[in-house]
Structure 1
Amino acid sequence: MTLNPVVVLIVEDEPVIRMSVVEELQHAGVVVFEAGTADESLTILQANPEISSVFTDVDMPGTMSGTELARIVRNSRPSVTITLTSAYLKLRKGELPPEVGYIPKPYDIDHVLRQIHPPALV
């Protein structure tokens, strides 16, 4: 039995942070798409239905935050795993959209992998 690879979209406006997490996830065997804004990520999500997880910063440039992106993704693609991250914002469970995870920065890449992998793969 061959499992489909995990396909994640990283949404991070800081290029060095984005490049680092993309590289680490690719090294772990994850297929990665990347976006520098939440607005850009919606185009990537629409064009790539195989994306199974979104890992996004909360504070983003453009017309929407990572939290707003999470709400849009949750409503349009309920099966997608969503995880928010931030170095500055501390969110409580009640402040998150339904079934959205949160990892504060700085984060351990193993923690990110546990969030984006379906439970059967962990």
Structure 2
Amino acid sequence: MTETFDRSRIAILVVEDEPLLLLDAMDMVEDAGFTAYGATSADEAIRLLERHDNIRILFTDVDMPGSMDGLKLAHAVRNRWPPMSIIVASGHIRVMPEDLPRDGLFFPKPYPPASFIRTLETMAERFAD
């Protein structure tokens, strides 16, 4: 029998500039038992990452205003926080594997909530120790 881990000790940073989509994604994360932080821009996301060392997974939209889009954010996070798991989502463009940072995943929008949660669970298991 596999041991379960305390999901609330693992935080997911959701980066989405559309307020309703941000709240919806954060609700899914929290309903699955994880801690959720939300940001509406890459700059805000970086500030949250600097403040909260329990963030283990970045889930970012591609299209965002500000100093960088979600793909640039994903690469910046991979460079600065190498162990971070990264999911990039978009409803407007298809992100190719070579555009993602190493070990990054792409979810086209709308993404199935059950698939999203299963992916978070799989990623979070790496950090359960």
Q: How high is the TM-score relative to the length of structure 2?
A: 0.87
Specify the alignment match of 2:111 in structure 1. 107
Gapped regions of structure 2 (runs ≥ 5): none
Task: Provide closer, same or farther for how the CA distance between residues 47 and 119 of structure 1 changes in structure 2, counting only shifts above 3 A.
Answer: closer
How far residue 2 of structure 1 moved from its aligned partner, in angstroms, is: 6.6
4+ runs deviating over 4 angstroms: none
Q: Report the AA paired with residue 19 of structure 2.
A: P
CA offset digits 1:87-106 (Å, max 9, x no partner):
00101111212111000000
Match of 1:7 among 11, 19, 22: 11
Specify the alignment match of 1:23 in structure 2. 27
Aligned CA-pair RMSD = 1.6
Aligned mates of 1:81, 1:4 — CA distance in 2 = 18
Task: Provide closer, same or farther for how the CA distance between residues 2 and 90 of structure 1 changes in structure 2, counting only shifts above 3 A.
Answer: closer
Aligned mates of 1:70, 1:60 — CA distance in 2 = 12
How far residue 82 of structure 1 moved from its aligned partner, in angstroms, is: 0.3
Specify the alignment match of 1:89 in structure 2. 93
Task: Provide closer, same or farther for how the CA distance between residues 105 and 12 of structure 1 changes in structure 2, counting only shifts above 3 A.
Answer: same
Q: Report the AA paired with residue 3 of structure 1.
A: F
SS of alignment partner, residue 39 of structure 1: helix
Q: How high is the TM-score relative to the length of structure 1?
A: 0.91
Contact 2:17 2:40 in 1 (8 A): yes
Contact 2:56 2:124 in 1 (8 A): no
Match of 2:56 among 52, 56, 76: 52
Q: Report the AA paired with residue 21 of structure 2.
A: I
How far residue 76 of structure 1 moved from its aligned partner, in angstroms, is: 0.9
SS of alignment partner, residue 55 of structure 2: coil
* 1:39 has 2:40 as partner: no
Percent identity over the alignment is: 33
How far residue 59 of structure 1 moved from its aligned partner, in angstroms, is: 0.7
Gapped regions of structure 1 (runs ≥ 5): none
Aligned mates of 2:32, 2:4 — CA distance in 1 = 17
